[in-house]
Amino acid sequence: MKQIRKAVLTAALLAALTVCPAVSAEEAAVTGDLNADGTADKADVLLLRDHLLTKETASDAAAADLNADSSLDARDLTLLKRLFPAAETDTEHTWILEPKGTVHSGFATFYGGGYEGGCAMLDPVSKDYWITAMNLPDWNNAELAGAYLEVTGELGTINVLVTDLLPEGAKGDLDLYTDAFPLIAPAEKGKVPVTWKILPLDTAEDAPFTYKYKVGSTEFWCAVQVRNHRYPIEKLEYLNDDGEFVELPRRNFNYFEAQSGLGKGPFTFRITDIYGQVVIDEDIPFTPDEMPQGHVQFPE
């Protein structure tokens, strides 16, 4: 069955190249037509998602490479999903980055940073946590910033918080804090194979979200960060004056930005995690000098 599935997927991706050989990267980014049926729709999203989950080798297809970086990854899936906002609430096809408990593999190294000034901008980071930097593909425009991971090496398993970015790392790679690395492998090895998976954040078990507004935020320009989330966040939306939820674009430095501001508050946010779980948090005050606490949390 696995070989049949792989063959079907590969054939579909090859078909996208064969049927539309003259499609430019810009045109492909608009269509997203993986199965070459002339329409970009939910079937294409599911096809790309299945390809990423199985991690089986398949030929690149111009139609699947929405960000035109010559590779297929979660960033392409995110862009493709956003072509179909109505599908976000489709109970038949819930968009997820990966199933809970998915095990990733890569290599671990170590360095001395991450507690202060990390790219996730989570300062101050509690010394109660071991921390790590995350490779660029899995970082996915800060999607895994603040993720809680279980990392396993030859000497054992530890839990770490993603607080920084490892730009030069390949998919699956981690750069652990110096004192954490010897807990999973001998330090003299320097670089070792590891596996890791996402865990629910322990402090979120009995506490709601908190919010942090970026320095310089006003009612006319605002950037907001969600903290203490049980699982990594896929999307943040705010309720506008017309009663509609509007998605805020995420920046690589782990803030969601409203270029024209959100007003004076209080705000209502709708937050989606990478597993498709959605919660609505109401009456969040606009307090740039403080980190207001929310009222909800992702389910387990």
Strand order in the sheet with 210-213: 210-213, 222-227, 255-258, 250-251
Q: What distance in Å separates the CA atoms of residue 22 and residue 73, rounded to the nearest whole number? A: 23
What are the phi and psi torsion angles at 211 (to 5°)?
A: -125, 145
CA distances from 202 to 100, 102, 198, 208 (A): 16, 18, 12, 12
Q: What distance in Å separates the CA atoms of residue 269 and residue 280, rounded to the nearest whole number? A: 6
Q: What distance in Å separates the CA atoms of residue 72 and residue 69, rounded to the nearest whole number? A: 8
For residue 15, the Cα-to-chain-centroid distance in whole angstroms is 29
> Smallest Cα–Cα separation from 132: which of 119, 30, 140?
119
Confidence tier at 68 by pLDDT (50, 70, 90): confident
Whether the per-residue pLDDT at 194 is higher than 60: the answer is: yes
Q: What is the average per-residue pLDDT within 114-136?
A: 95
Determine how β-strand 156-166 pairs with β-strand 130-135: parallel
Q: What share of the chain is helix, strand, coil (3-state, %, to 5)?
A: 20, 30, 50
Q: How do residues 10-66 score in pLDDT, each as one tens digit?
A: 444 444 433 333 334 444 444 577 776 666 666 677 677 666 655 554 444 667 777
**Contact between residue 183 and residue 110 where contact means Cβ atoms under 8 Å apart:** no
Lowest mean pLDDT among 13-17, 111-115, 292-296: 13-17
- For residue 167, cis peptide bond before it (omega within 30 degrees of 0): no
Evaluate the CA torsion angle 94, 1, 61, 167 in order and state its sign.
positive
Confidence tier at 87 by pLDDT (50, 70, 90): very low
Q: How do residues 228-286 score in pLDDT, each as one tens digit?
A: 999 999 999 999 999 999 999 999 999 999 999 999 999 999 999 999 999 999 999 99
Residue 284's SS3 state is strand
Q: What is the average per-residue pLDDT within 81-92?
A: 50
- For residue 124, cis peptide bond before it (omega within 30 degrees of 0): yes
Lowest mean pLDDT among 77-81, 105-109, 135-139: 77-81
Whether the per-residue pLDDT at 96 is higher than 80: the answer is: no
pLDDT of 79? 72
Whether the per-residue pLDDT at 227 is higher than 80: the answer is: yes
Q: Domain segments of the chain: what residues? A: 2-89, 104-199, 204-284
pLDDT of 2? 38
CATH no. for 204-284? 2.60.40.760
Whether the per-residue pLDDT at 143 is higher than 70: the answer is: yes
Pick the residue with more confidence: 89 or 121? 121
- Average pLDDT for the chain: 83
pLDDT of 10? 45
pLDDT of 4? 42
**Contact between residue 298 and residue 205 where contact means Cβ atoms under 8 Å apart:** no
CATH no. for 104-199? 2.40.40.10
Residue 48's SS3 state is helix
Whether the per-residue pLDDT at 6 is higher than 80: the answer is: no
